């Protein structure tokens, strides 16, 4: 989240008295479609293909989060660049894999720079 976006979010929270987390499912399909500049049927198709997974309410109604809408916009951008839906699915899958690997590397680096001392005493604890 950029500082400008964060500032707008905090000013909205001050103005309205509440704020909504980016992963909170609050947008109905019609609102999400409008925010993503897509047709609601396109959102249903992306859901069927597993490109985006909105929260289901009552087993039927879809609710989208701000994160879902950002993903929908990314899917629309990739589609506009000429990628097929299968290509988009693969790109998103690889992005998730890269993010997981980056988290693993960051954790490894933290462990490498840790100042914790581990003492091994053979024969103890038996």
**What is the dihedral sign for C-alpha 29, 30, 35, 38?**
positive
Domain hosting 47: range is: 23-112
Kindly state whether residue 124 falls inside one of the protein's structural domains. Answer: no
Kindly state whether residue 51 falls inside one of the protein's structural domains. Answer: yes
CA distance linking residue 18 with residue 41, whole number of Å? 31
Kindly state whether residue 64 falls inside one of the protein's structural domains. Answer: yes
Structure tokens at 63: 């609710």
3-24 tens-digit pLDDT: 555 555 566 567 777 788 999 9
Kindly state whether residue 61 falls inside one of the protein's structural domains. Answer: yes
Kindly state whether residue 10 falls inside one of the protein's structural domains. Answer: no
Integer angstrom CA distances of residue 94 from 23, 88, 97, 114: 21, 10, 5, 30
Kindly state whether residue 98 falls inside one of the protein's structural domains. Answer: yes
Global confidence as pTM: 0.71
Mean pLDDT, the chain, integer: 88
Kindly state whether residue 117 falls inside one of the protein's structural domains. Answer: no
Kindly state whether residue 11 falls inside one of the protein's structural domains. Answer: no
- Proportion of the chain above pLDDT 70, given as a percent: 87
Structural domains counted in the chain: 1
79-125 tens-digit pLDDT: 999 999 999 999 999 999 999 999 999 999 988 887 777 788 887 66
47-66 tens-digit pLDDT: 999 999 999 998 889 999 99
Note the pLDDT of residue 112.
85
User: What CATH number does residue 100 fall under?
Assistant: 1.10.1660.10
């Amino acid at each position: 989240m950029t500082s400008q976006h964060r500032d707008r979010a905090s000013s909205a929270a001050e103005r309205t008295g509440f704020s909504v987390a980016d992963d909170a499912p609050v947008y109905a399909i019609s609102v999400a479609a409008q925010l993503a500049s897509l047709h609601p049927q396109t959102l249903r198709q992306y859901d069927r293909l597993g490109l985006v997974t909105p929260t289901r309410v009552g087993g039927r109604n879809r609710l989208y989060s701000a994160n879902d809408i950002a993903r929908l916009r990314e899917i629309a951008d990739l589609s506009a660049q000429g990628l097929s839906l299968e290509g988009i699915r693969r790109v998103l899958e690889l992005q998730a894999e890269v993010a997981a690997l980056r988290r693993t590397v960051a954790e490894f680096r933290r462990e490498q720079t840790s100042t914790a001392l581990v003492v091994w005493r053979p024969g103890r604890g038996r």
